[in-house]
């Protein structure tokens, strides 16, 4: 299983972080953690930016996040062009990790406020899968 299932239009066939797709298909959003120094990455990385080692483990993201800010996207990257316009949020998790992700269209734009609680969940669209911020 490769990255061709990421988003709605495939563009990368294989990478070292392809397990992300398998996790998303099972309903789990997961990142990678360096076994050497505990640094956590999402989107997942195969190599640690800090110590340069490649000894990583997959860790599900289960905690809630707080919305930091958001914006409306009218011209998206190829994999998300069909979804425009959509809202892109920046959310911060309890461990300080900050993630950019689309915000669910189920959330009304007027409901969005900084500091509101959100969760990161997989979303299936057609043959593809990606992740988005949703109401807990």
- We find the least distance from the C-beta atom of residue 45 to Zn ion, in angstroms, to be 10
User: Minimum CB separation from Zn ion for residue 56, in Å?
Assistant: 8
Considering beta carbons, is residue 54 or 104 the nearer one to Zn ion? 54
Contact criterion met (CB below 8 Å) for 24 and 4: no
Residue nearest to Zn ion (CB): 48
Question: In whole angstroms, how close is the CB of 3 to Zn ion at the nearest point?
Answer: 23
37 is a site residue for Zn ion (CB under 5 A): yes
CB nearer Zn ion, residue 12 or residue 51: 51
| Residue 29 binding Zn ion, by CB under 5 A | no
Least separation in angstroms between CB 16 and Zn ion: 15
* Rounded CA separation 60/77 (Å): 26
Query: Does residue 50 interact with Zn ion by CB under 5 A?
Result: yes
Cβ contact 3:42 at 8 Å: no
> Contacting Zn ion (CB under 5 A), which of 18, 24, 30, 34?
34
What does the binding site for Zn ion look like in residue numbers (CB under 5 A)? Answer: 34, 36-37, 39, 48, 50-51
């Amino acid at each position: 299983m490769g990255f061709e299932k990421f988003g709605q239009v495939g563009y990368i066939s294989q990478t070292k972080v392809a397990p992300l797709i398998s996790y998303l298909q099972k309903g789990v959003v997961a990142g990678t953690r360096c076994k050497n120094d505990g640094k956590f990455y999402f989107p997942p990385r195969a190599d640690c930016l800090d110590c340069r080692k490649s000894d990583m483990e997959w860790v599900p993201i289960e905690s809630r996040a707080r919305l930091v800010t958001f914006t409306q996207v009218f011209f998206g990257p190829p994999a998300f062009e069909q979804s425009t316009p959509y809202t892109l949020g920046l959310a911060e998790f309890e461990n300080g990790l900050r993630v950019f992700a689309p915000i669910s269209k189920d959330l009304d734009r007027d409901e969005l406020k900084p500091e509101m609680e959100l969760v990161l969940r997989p979303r299936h669209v057609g043959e593809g899968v990606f992740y988005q911020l949703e109401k807990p």
